[in-house]
Amino acid sequence: DAKTTQPNSMESNEEEPVHLPCNHSTISGTDYIHWYRQLPSQGPEYVIHGLTSNVNNRMASLAIAEDRKSSTLILHRATLRDAAVYYCILRDVRSGGSNYKLTFGKGTLLTVNP
C-alpha cells in the first residue's frame, strides 16, 4: 500500500475552518484517497473519498492537488464534536472489488478549542 504522511496533531478553534493535510507522494493512478476519523471511544467512521477531482459532502470537503501527491481534508466550521483522530488512507481499486483492507497510519489528532 502506498504510504501517507500526516501531522501528528493539529489544533483549531470552534467554528473556524480546519485544513488537515496529507502527503502521498508515491500515489499511483489507481489509488483512491479515503479519509476516516475516529472519535474518542468509538470505531472509525468514513468521512469522504476521491480520486482526482475535489469532493464535497455534508461532513467535509476534499481538495486533491493536481499532481495528486497531496490532499487536504477541509472541515468548514469545526465543532467540538469534530475532535478526533483523522486518517488519510490510500486504497488501490485494483485490489479487487470484493476484497480490500484499510491500512491505517497514525493519523492526525485534531483538538478543537471552545
Partner 1 sequence: DSGVTQTPKHLITATGQRVTLRCSPRSGDLSVYWYQQSLDQGLQFLIQYYNGEERAKGNILERFSAQQFPDLHSELNLSSLELGDSALYFCASRDSPWGTDTQYFGPGTRLTVL
The residues binding partner 1 (CB under 8 A) are 32, 34, 36, 38, 42-46, 49, 87, 91, 96-106
Q: Least CB distance from residue 70 to partner 1, whole Å?
A: 21
Q: Given the complex with partner 1, which of 23 and 38 has the nearer CB atom?
A: 38
Q: Least CB distance from residue 45 to partner 1, whole Å?
A: 7
Q: Given the complex with partner 1, which of 1 and 14 has the nearer CB atom?
A: 1
SS3 94: helix
Q: Least CB distance from residue 106 to partner 1, whole Å?
A: 6
Helices marked H in 38-87: none
Q: Given the complex with partner 1, which of 39 and 65 has the nearer CB atom?
A: 39
- Using CA atoms, how far residue 9 sits from 12, 55, 111, 112, in Å, is 10, 24, 8, 11
Q: Least CB distance from residue 90 to partner 1, whole Å?
A: 13
Long-range pairs for 41-45: beta carbons < 8 A, 24 or more residues apart: 44/87, 44/102, 44/104
Written as nine digits, the cell of 59 is 461532513
